[in-house]
Structure 1
């Protein structure tokens, strides 16, 4: 194995958990295999990265938040100036810290990072989490040394399917070993099946409203429910011992350990994590936005590992008519579980695959 001088990596991204979590997964992998390296993160003061990155022990270098203009207005008129300033900020970071490679995960920090890397003559790698890519990555992919995508069919130039970089806590999760602890934590019975329902940190009104009316049918089919309804939800914990409502899940690993099936939104991270863990799911894609959540779920549905119900159709009657019969049919549910488990090994390899792309961009063989 050829020895290399300590490398300086600059990982750019942020704004949402969908950008920050895969970034941190790659950062952890780089630091674990190359303790002498410098792993830096580029983000904004406003994004989620401003809290999560320092908490994880990484230095956060700041770049101004520069949204691409969507319409002709005063912000659009100022854009060229603030854009040039953001690119200059990143170029200074690259020079001052002797950065060897930039890795972007989308979001406000990535677009100026790609341009700055190109102008400084260093390679950069693009990773796109969603099946429908964001503008920063669409533009960045044109000149990138390597481009990784989570889902097959993602329309990004040069995209190679590498999967989603996942947290080590997910990749290494031993669900069977944690099931008893998880059941005790949430006040449920480890010997009986559990349906996990969640819609993100703020919850999902459609899921909450539908479960409020349909949960007795699920419980009547012999299932317990663990429902993370969001901090702003109007639901209160039910009096029924088989239906547990919590605002949020501090220990998502324990929730996943307990879940025999899941009803959830289909953000890229959710789909990737459930696939990696081999848990069958019913996805209810968020209907607002550019339709990316339905596309995110498409590969799992095509593989037979999940079902999809459009948001507008996720009603109490649909739950009683489709979800409950699914949960009550061991053969059909088992087929979904088997398909999910068959897809799990590939889904767990995302972090290593992105690290390999970084090595390729640097002209190295994978370590």
Structure 2
């Protein structure tokens, strides 16, 4: 596989840095891909055969118990299957110095994730199967529910979900806080809070983001970023994140997520009611909760197929945020320094293989971002 802009990568990073990033990629890629393939294989094996229906039937004839037991089993089997692959990725990242959290903390995070995802999944299953059994146009109501859920979760995530996984403390008053607030003010973006996330208890990776809407909007910086990067580089990271707010990427993403969820539900409904698939799954009617493994299989295939398109859209949005940061700060030199620091600290590959980047890359490559900053610097010269 060819790499993206390898010449720039060689010029901006040492051979040791490039070799280390590629060693990390080679070490964790089999487990990352293996976990995805194994999860897809599980739902296909049980969703496109009577196996899933038989497992769900073990919970008796009660409609409610079949959904409860079948949904819990669906999550449990997927989680148990994915854990060895996730643990292997963690072992690799520990070896490369990216993980600071112990196994107990990691297990607690897995449990927190389940405590969030399981109620949401069960609520969705109960709603879908209740509608499927009661309304001819159940798919339309389900699509509306999916759209509303996307909007509600987007609004609630910063307030309710983020604190479950990180502790946030106000940034102490000082020059950096003042500069970040002044940066947002110059950008015309109201920001009420500047917070510090205790990312160092999990990782050495560097990051920052802007989250929330209206009164809940806040700038969040990883403590690892604050302890490692120069203040001007922190400003450049935040300027990029403000670009997402300026272009209303969160709002547009929420709307797109709502529309995508609605369209996805409609497509799912069309596929899971196709009689040959129902026959293969050993179910006579989709309204029977025993069809949930078929629903999971179709959803997994759709998600895998849509993944590269979502990544392409994400890369475009991130490029636009980079342009915004360069225009807001007029400082391509520190932008380049910031990209170098982030890439080295996060052990990112400056120019990953093109196919992998097209399939899974959510941001432009570091080499591409640095090249764009140099081009902006040349353009800005009188």
TM-score if structure 2 supplies the norm length? 0.25
Question: Who wins on radius of gyration, i.e. which is larger?
Answer: 2
TM-score if structure 1 supplies the norm length? 0.26
Task: Work out which structure has the larger RCO, using CA pairs closer than 8 Å and 6 or more positions apart in sequence.
Answer: 2
More helix by share: 2
More strand by share: 1
